[in-house]
C-alpha cells in the first residue's frame, strides 16, 4: 500500500495541507492528521495557544467537519480565555450540522451576556439539529445481546432478515413471523469467521458474507481466521463458494447489484469485485489515500464508497480512479459507515462518527459527480445507539440500530448489552 508524505517544514509549523495531494508522496494523510493532533496536545500542555490553534486548524483543513477537531477549537478558545472564539467554534459546529448540548457548557451564561442575539441563534440551531426526524418501526429484536451483530441483510421477496455476528462467529436468520427469535443460518456445522457484512443476491439465490477477524474474534488455540467473501445458499445456508484474494486484510462491507459484488477492504485500502459466483475475486481499485473503507453503493454510473476517516469516495467506472468528494456546506462527512442505493439511484448512508447519528440521504448535482448536501432521514430516535448498517427492501430502509462495540471490550460491563433491534421506515 502506498503512503503519502508532507514536508517536515509544513508539519513543524502546522501549515494547512493542500486538498490536492500527490499519490507518490510518502506519509499518509492519517499520519499527517495524527501528527498535527500531537502538536495540538503538546502546544496546549505548554499553554502555547497560538501554536495549538494553528495545528488544529491545519488538521481541520484535512478533515473538514471533524467533530473532535471542532470541539478542540472550542476547548482551546475556552482555555485561552477567548469567549468570542468560543462563539465562533460553536457557530462552526452548527454550520456543519453537528449536535451540541449548550446546557452542559459552563460558560453558557457568559457567552449569552457577551452576545445575546448570536447565542440565541445558536440555541435555536442546535435545537433544530437535535430534533427527531423520521418515523421508524421495530421490525425485529432477537435475543442476541452477546453476539455483537454488525451485519444486516434483508431478502426483498421473503422479508427474512439475516444478521452477521462478530463475537460468536455465526450468521442468524430471523423470520418475519417470528421477529423475537433467531435461528442459526451458518456457523454451527462448520466454523466461520466474524461476519462484518452481508448482502442478498436474489438473482443467484445467494447470501454473501464478508468474513474475517478482529481482536475480539474468538479463536481456538492456533486457529487462523482467513479474510474471505463467502457465498451461501440463501435457503439452506450451505457454502456454495469461498472467494479469497492475496493481500486482503479485512473485508468490511459489500454490495450486490445485478449479480455483481463489490466489497471494501477496511484496513487494506482496496475495493474488490466479483462478477458472479463462479468468477474469481479481483482487485477493482486501490488507493493510498483510503483509510477506513466501509459501505458501498453502485449508483449514478459509478461506485461510491464511505471512508470513516475522510468522507465519500467516487470511483470512476472507466479509469477506476478515486475522487474524494468535497464536503458540502452545512454537513459533516466524518464517521460514515453503512451505505445503500435504491432502485432510482438515491444513496443513503449511516453516520455514527458525528452527532447526530442516524440515516441520511446524500444529495448530488444533476451529473452525480458533486455532493451538494446531507439530508437527515432518521436521526435523534431514542432507540439509535451506534447504527452501522442499512439495507433497502420493498421501498423501506432497514437499519441495525446499535452494534455496541464498546461493550465487548475487555473492561466493559457485559451486563449492559442489549438485544439488537432492527428498525425500518418508509423512504421519503
Residues in Cβ contact with 94 at an 8 Å cutoff, skipping those fewer than 6 apart: 100, 122, 125, 126, 129
Q: Residue 12 pLDDT more than 60?
A: no
Long-range contacts of 87-95 (CB under 8 A, 24+ apart): 87/111, 87/114, 87/115, 87/118, 87/119, 87/122, 90/122, 91/118, 91/122, 93/67, 94/122, 94/125, 94/126, 94/129, 95/329, 95/330
* Cα 81 from Cα 139, distance rounded (Å): 50
User: 304 versus 368: which is more confidently predicted?
Assistant: 304
122-133: per-residue pLDDT in tens? 999 999 999 999
| End residue of a domain, out of 129, 163, 189 | 129
DSSP class of residue 174?
E
Q: Are residues 193 and 90 in the same domain?
A: no
pLDDT tens profile 384-426? 999 999 999 999 999 999 999 999 998 999 999 999 999 999 9
Categorize the per-residue pLDDT at 4 as very low, low, confident or very high, splitting at 50, 70 and 90. very low
Q: For the segment 250-274, what is each residue's pLDDT rounded down to a tens digit?
A: 999 999 999 999 999 999 999 999 9
Instruction: Give me the pLDDT at residue 13, please.
Output: 30
Strand partners of residue 137: 424
Of 338, 332, 381, the residue nearest 68 (C-alpha): 332
Dig out the grid coordinates for 15 from the structure: 501549515
Which triple of cell numbers denotes residue 99? 449536535
Smallest CA-to-CA distance from 136 within 385, 360, 384, 353 is with 384
* Residue range 148-164, pLDDT digits in tens: 999 999 999 999 999 99
User: What is the β-pairing status of strands 183-186 and 137-140?
Assistant: unpaired
Residues 141 and 277 in one domain: yes
Answer whether 284's CB lies under 8 Å from 274's CB: no
Number of domains comprising the chain: 2
DSSP state of 133: B
Tell me if the bond preceding 356 is cis, omega within 30° of 0.
yes
Q: Which of 129, 151, 186 is at the close of a domain?
A: 129
Is 30 part of any domain? yes
Residue 5, pLDDT score: 27
Clarify whether residues 196 and 298 are in a common domain: yes
* Residues 80, 178 within the same domain: no
Is the distance from CB of 379 to CB of 359 less than 8 angstroms? yes
Of residues 18 and 353, more confidently modeled: 353
Residue ranges making up the domain that contains 27: 8-129
Residues 186 and 37 occupy one common structural domain: no
Whether 413 maps to a domain, the answer reads yes
Q: Give the dihedral sign, CA 7/8/11/13.
A: negative
Are residue 181 and residue 77 in the same domain, yes or no? no
Is residue 140 over pLDDT 60?
yes
| pLDDT, tens only, 95-105 | 999 999 999 99
Residue 119 pairs in a beta bridge with: none
Q: Do 269 and 416 share a domain, yes or no? A: yes
Per-residue pLDDT at 11 exceeds 70: no
Residue 99 lies in a domain: yes
C-alpha triplet 398, 142, 216: angle, nearest 5°: 90
What is the percentage of the chain residues whose pLDDT exceeds 70? 93
This prediction has a pTM of 0.91
* pLDDT at residue 60 greater than cutoff 60: yes
pLDDT of 14 reads 33
Shared domain check, 141 and 124? no
pLDDT at res. 368 = 86
Contact 21, 289 (CB under 8 A): yes
Output the average pLDDT for the chain.
Answer: 92
Asked whether residue 1 is assigned to any structural domain, the reply reads no
Taking Cα atoms as reference points, which of 19, 53, 68 lies closest to residue 327?
A: 19
Angle at 268 between CA 267 and CA 274, to 5 degrees: 115
Mean pLDDT in residue range 64-75: 96
**Looking at the structure, do residues 278 and 205 belong to the same domain, yes or no?**
yes
pLDDT tops 80 at residue 25:
no
Same domain, 241 and 345: yes
Query: Tell me, what CATH number does 93's domain have?
Result: 1.25.40
Q: Which residues does 390 contact at the CB level (< 8 Å), separation at least 6?
A: 152, 295, 338, 339, 340, 348, 349, 350, 359, 397, 398, 399, 400
Interstrand relation of 293-299 and 302-307 (parallel, antiparallel or unpaired): antiparallel
Cell of 82: 477567548
Short-list 354, 317, 311, CA closest to 333: 311
Residues 152, 176: one domain?
yes
Proportion of the chain above pLDDT 90, given as a percent: 89
Q: How confident is the model at residue 28 (pLDDT cuts 50, 70, 90)?
A: low
Residue 62: enclosing H or E segment and its boundaries?
A: helix 49-62
Give the CATH number of the domain where residue 354 resides: 2.120.10.30
Domain end call among 129, 154, 179: 129
Instruction: Establish if 98 belongs to a structural domain.
Output: yes
Confidence of residue 189 (pLDDT cuts 50, 70, 90): confident
Residue 2 lies in a domain: no
Q: Are residues 81 and 180 in the same domain?
A: no
**What residues contact residue 263 under an 8 Å CB cut-off, 6+ apart?**
197, 210, 229, 251, 253, 254, 255, 271, 272, 273, 274, 281, 296
Answer yes or no: is 323 within a domain: yes
Comparing CA positions, the residue from 301, 328, 332 lying closest to residue 315 is 301
Note the pLDDT of residue 32: 87
**Res 26: pLDDT:** 33
Q: Is residue 397 part of a domain?
A: yes
Amino acid at each position: 500500500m502506498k503512503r503519502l508524505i508532507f514536508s517536515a517544514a509544513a508539519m513543524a509549523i502546522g501549515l494547512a495541507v493542500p486538498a490536492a495531494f500527490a499519490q507518490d508522496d510518502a506519509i499518509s494523510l492519517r499520519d499527517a492528521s495524527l501528527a498535527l493532533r500531537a502538536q495540538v496536545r503538546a502546544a496546549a500542555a505548554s499553554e502555547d495557544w497560538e501554536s495549538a490553534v494553528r495545528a488544529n486548524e491545519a488538521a481541520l483543513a484535512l478533515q473538514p467537519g471533524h467533530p473532535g477537531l471542532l470541539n478542540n477549537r472550542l476547548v482551546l478558545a475556552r482555555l485561552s480565555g477567548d469567549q468570542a472564539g468560543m462563539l465562533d467554534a460553536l457557530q462552526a459546529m452548527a454550520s456543519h450540522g453537528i449536535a451540541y448540548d449548550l446546557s452542559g457548557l459552563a460558560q453558557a451564561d457568559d457567552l449569552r451576556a457577551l452576545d445575546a442575539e448570536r447565542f440565541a441563534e445558536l440555541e435555536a440551531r442546535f435545537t433544530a439539529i437535535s430534533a427527531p426526524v423520521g418515523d421508524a418501526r421495530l421490525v425485529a429484536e432477537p435475543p442476541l445481546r452477546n453476539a455483537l451483530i454488525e451485519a444486516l441483510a434483508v431478502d426483498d421477496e421473503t422479508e427474512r432478515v439475516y444478521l452477521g455476528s462478530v463475537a460468536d462467529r455465526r450468521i442468524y436468520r430471523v423470520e418475519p413471523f417470528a421477529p423475537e427469535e433467531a435461528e442459526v443460518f451458518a456457523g454451527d456445522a462448520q466454523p466461520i469467521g466474524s461476519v462484518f457484512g452481508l448482502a442478498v443476491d436474489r438473482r443467484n439465490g445467494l447470501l454473501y458474507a464478508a468474513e474475517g477477524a478482529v481482536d475480539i474474534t474468538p479463536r481456538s488455540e492456533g486457529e487462523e481466521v482467513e479474510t474471505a467473501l463467502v457465498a451461501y445458499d440463501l435457503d439452506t445456508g450451505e457454502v456454495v463458494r469461498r472467494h479469497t484474494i492475496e493481500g486482503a486484510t479485512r473485508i468490511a462491507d459489500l454490495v450486490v447489484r445485478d449479480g455483481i459484488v463489490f466489497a471494501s477492504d477496511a484496513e487494506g485500502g482496496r475495493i474488490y469485485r466479483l462478477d458472479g459466483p463462479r468468477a474469481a475475486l479481483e482487485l477493482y481499485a486501490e488507493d493510498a489515500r483510503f483509510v477506513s473503507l466501509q459501505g458501498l453503493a453502485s449508483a449514478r454510473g459509478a461506485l461510491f464508497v464511505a471512508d470513516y476517516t475522510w468522507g465519500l469516495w467516487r470511483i470512476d467506472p472507466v479509469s477506476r480512479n478515486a475522487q474524494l468528494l468535497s464536503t458540502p456546506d452545512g454537513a459533516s462527512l466524518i464517521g460514515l459507515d453503512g451505505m445503500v442505493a435504491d432502485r432510482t439511484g438515491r444513496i443513503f448512508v449511516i453516520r455514527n462518527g458525528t452527532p447526530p447519528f442516524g440515516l441520511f440521504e446524500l444529495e448530488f448535482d444533476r451529473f452525480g459527480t458533486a455532493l451538494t448536501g446531507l439530508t437527515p432521514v432518521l436521526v435523534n430516535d431514542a432507540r439509535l445507539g451506534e447504527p452501522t448498517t442499512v439495507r433497502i427492501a420493498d421501498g423501506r430502509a432497514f437499519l441495525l440500530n446499535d452494534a455496541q462495540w464498546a461493550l465487548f471490550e475487555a473492561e466493559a460491563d457485559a451486563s449492559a448489552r442489549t438485544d439488537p433491534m432492527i428498525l425500518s421506515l418508509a423512504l421519503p
